[in-house]
Amino acid sequence: MTFSIEVMAWVSSVPFLIYLSHTQGWKSRLTFFLALVLAWSFVVTKIISDPIPLVLVFLYSIPISLFHLPGYLVWSKFKNQKFALFLFPVIMVIMEWIQYTFTPLASWGVVAYTMHDNVSLTQTVSLFGMAGLSFLIYWVNVSIANIIIKRKISIPTFQLPLFVLLLFIFFGSIRYDMSKANGIDTVTVAAVGTDSEASGLPLPTKERTEQTRTALFKRTRTAAEGGAKIISWNEAAIFIMPEDEKEWINSIKELASELNITLVASYVSPISQSPLRYENKYQFIDSSGNITLTYLKHQPVPGEPAVQGKSPLKVTDVKGTKVGAAICYDYDFPYLAKGYGELGADMVILPSSDWRGIDPVHTEMAAFRAVEQGHSVLRSTRFGLSAAITPYGEMVSQMSSFDDNDKIMYSQLPTKGVITLFSVIQDSFVYLCIGFLLSFMAIASQSKNKSNPTTKDD
């Protein structure tokens, strides 16, 4: 989270595994859990900065620790069984999948993200998603732990994981290099930043709102004059009161039509102030000034007082390019990107709003969705890093809102996406891990029954 030392991911679990192999009893396991919570608390603390309160450390570190706990404890119980080496990575991958598929914690803390700077290894998520890369990292960890504990090297603990790692690097290098071997059709896109710093109460004044609107429209015109055909504003680019929304929508429709652009206009519309509730939304407007989709954020951040969107995902044809859009935290959930993959999206627009603590890792996380599904991502970010990301996870253009700039980022993105294995097989690797776990536990239970036969009295 935020920053990391990539190589440490390959050994970060080793001390914990060694400790569990040398201790027993509930006191040992309680001590282990507290150490795990402490470790994750230090990790989560890195993302805490204004305006996020420090108490949120434990709201993330404790649940993430609980999701990781079964992998360690089950491995320690069955570590001497045949094939137990694979038990740890299998359970860790399953628990990560449960977290980002079924809980509001999304994919924060998934170990695969530690490879965000390694372009070769990042390509492997196009095969099996984050689960495949996470599995390899956890496999290397438990293999190193086994070598230290047993003082013995074996094919499953050394040669095999090393071979798979080299194979992944080779595949990723070839895939990334081949992506640049031929010319492709591109479209000019732009991320337009806002001057608004409003995040809740008190709501901005009408005067301040008008200043924000004027700046947004001016930058949008400049971006269009610079050749941008698809333009996205930041998440919560402006606050629009419900009574002003109809007039507001007409104005942005006229803007898109006048400039002959596709515009993703993201804004917030408060529906109550006590308590604060609002719609965090965008209007997807085509070059004729027609609204093709009104979208409410599908996955509000835990604690965000936003109305949750439920509308089906939709892609719009923009001169042969299928374009969809989501909002910020939505793309921390791989299932939502898979939805756009199933719709054949070539590009996904992602209006976003971060804070200093998660910059730039939040944008780097979005690159994994691009590689998984084979579509480009234009992430227009308030309080963070805007980026244009290719289907290979390459950030071909970047702009930080913390730098002194004109708040307009231009880029060229491919008009077409690419087909990935993961977009076809989806979570099949996770299901394979579930099958392995069930088979392992059934065999282990059967072996235990055979070793402890029961006798009946005559």
Each residue's pLDDT, cut to its tens digit, for the chain (458 residues) gives 777 889 999 999 999 999 999 999 999 999 999 999 999 999 999 999 888 888 889 999 999 999 999 999 999 999 999 899 999 999 999 999 999 999 999 999 999 999 999 999 999 999 999 999 999 999 999 999 999 999 999 999 999 999 999 999 999 999 999 998 888 999 999 999 999 998 888 999 999 999 999 999 999 999 999 999 999 999 999 999 999 999 999 999 999 999 999 999 999 999 999 999 999 999 999 999 999 999 999 999 998 999 999 999 999 999 999 999 999 999 999 999 999 999 999 999 999 999 999 999 999 999 999 999 999 999 999 999 999 999 999 999 999 999 999 999 999 999 999 999 999 999 999 999 999 999 999 998 887 767 665 544 43
Q: Which domain holds residue 103?
A: 5-181+426-451
Residues 315 and 227 reside in one and the same domain: yes
Residues 113 and 201 reside in one and the same domain: no
Q: Is the peptide bond before 51 cis (omega within 30 degrees of 0)?
A: yes
CATH number of the CATH domain containing 308: 3.60.110.10
Q: Which residues contact 81 (CB under 8 A, 6 or more apart)?
A: 87, 440, 444, 447
289 in a domain, yes or no? yes
In the block, tokens 């402890």 appear at 452
411 in a domain, yes or no? yes
Residues 194 and 273 reside in one and the same domain: yes
For 455, the token pair is 């006798």
> Which of 369, 260, 264, 391 has the alpha carbon at shortest distance from 316?
264
18 in a domain, yes or no? yes
346 by DSSP, 3-state: which?
coil
pTM to 2 decimal places? 0.94
420 in a domain, yes or no? no
458 in a domain, yes or no? no
For 207, the token pair is 């005067």
How many angstroms separate the CA atoms of 308 and 325, rounded?
16
Residues 201 and 243 reside in one and the same domain: yes
Residues 15 and 99 reside in one and the same domain: yes
398 by DSSP, 3-state: which?
strand
How many angstroms separate the CA atoms of 104 and 308, rounded?
12
Residues 90 and 15 reside in one and the same domain: yes
How many Cβ atoms from other residues are within 10 Å of residue 136's Cβ? Answer: 24
Residues 365 and 436 reside in one and the same domain: no
> Which of 8, 58, 116 has the alpha carbon at shortest distance from 302?
58
> Which of 267, 264, 286 has the alpha carbon at shortest distance from 278?
267
130 in a domain, yes or no? yes
The tally of domains found in the chain comes to 2
Residues 267 and 406 reside in one and the same domain: yes
Residues 176 and 227 reside in one and the same domain: no
How distant, in Å, are the alpha carbons of 170, 267, 302, 348, 406 from that of 298? 37, 15, 12, 15, 30
Sheet bearing 385-389, strands edge to edge? 316-318, 321-325, 347-353, 376-382, 385-389, 395-400
